[in-house]
Structures are given as structure tokens and as C-alpha cells.
Amino acid sequence: MFSGLNKGVDIVKLDQSNSPFNQIDQVFVARNVVRGMNIKVTNAKMSLLGNETSWTADFSKVLLFPNLVKHVVYSLSANGNTFPNHALRNVCHNRVVIETDEAVNANVFVTVDQGNAS
């Protein structure tokens, strides 16, 4: 287990002082256990619950690379007797937006990955 003495130190930090990364390949950071540190990963999951027409999953605080989501998988589980149309509408700045054609009481599960498809 890594320990940051509750200082909020990132477990991994990118040094982009010379230039930003323009090509990222074969990087996998996940399943770390930390105490007092900020977890950084290259794949993450999130669940959202609400009665909405739009859900935004914001992964910007946990994903290692800024503005880089290569793959998204999501599911929408609607409560009740409704069967809404839904779609992935936007992926930008490590945020994923899912929209429905009507307000729906639902659970939305989102998984993102910054790596290559296998």
C-alpha cells in the first residue's frame, strides 16, 4: 500500500514540462491501494442515479492522462415501465455525457479506458 500521509499527493504524476504527450500507447495503471493519496488510473468505472435526460460522468480527477478517453462502455437501466432512447452524446476533457429522449429515473453505469483495444 502506498501512503501519502494525507497530503493529497497523486499516486502517479505526469511530467509534461517539456511538452505534452502526443502519443500514448500500452499504458495500464489500475487497482492501486493508497492511503492519503489521490488515485490515478487509466481505466475507471462510475455509476450515476437520477431522474434526468442527461447524465455526465466526470472522470477528470481519477484518469491519469488529461482529455484522453479512447473507449467508453455504458449501460442505462431504467426503472419502471419506460423504454427510453439513449445515446452516448459527448466525450471531452475526460467527461462522458449520456442523453435520453425523455426524463427517466435510471441507473447509468459508465466504464472508460485510456488504453488501446485488445
Model pLDDT for residues 90-107, shown as the tens digit of each residue? 999 999 999 999 999 999
pLDDT of the residue at 99: 98
Nearest Cα neighbor of 96 from 52, 44, 50 is: 44
Residue with more model confidence, 5 or 13 = 13
DSSP state, residue 23: -
Is the pLDDT score of 33 beyond 80? no
* pTM of the complete model: 0.82
pLDDT, one tens digit per residue, over 38-81 is 788 899 999 999 999 999 999 999 998 889 899 999 999 999 88
Rounded distance, CA 13 to CA 11, Å? 7
Task: Write down the pLDDT at residue 3.
Answer: 54
Q: Count CB neighbours of 89 within 10 A.
A: 13
Q: Which residues, 6 or more positions from 89, have their beta carbon under 8 angstroms from its beta carbon?
A: 54, 97, 98, 99
- Report pLDDT for 103: 96
Among 14-18, 23-27, 59-63, 72-76, the range scoring the smallest mean pLDDT is: 23-27
Neighbours of 114 (CB within 10 A): 21
pLDDT at 36 over 50: yes
SS3 79: coil
Q: What is the pLDDT of residue 19?
A: 82
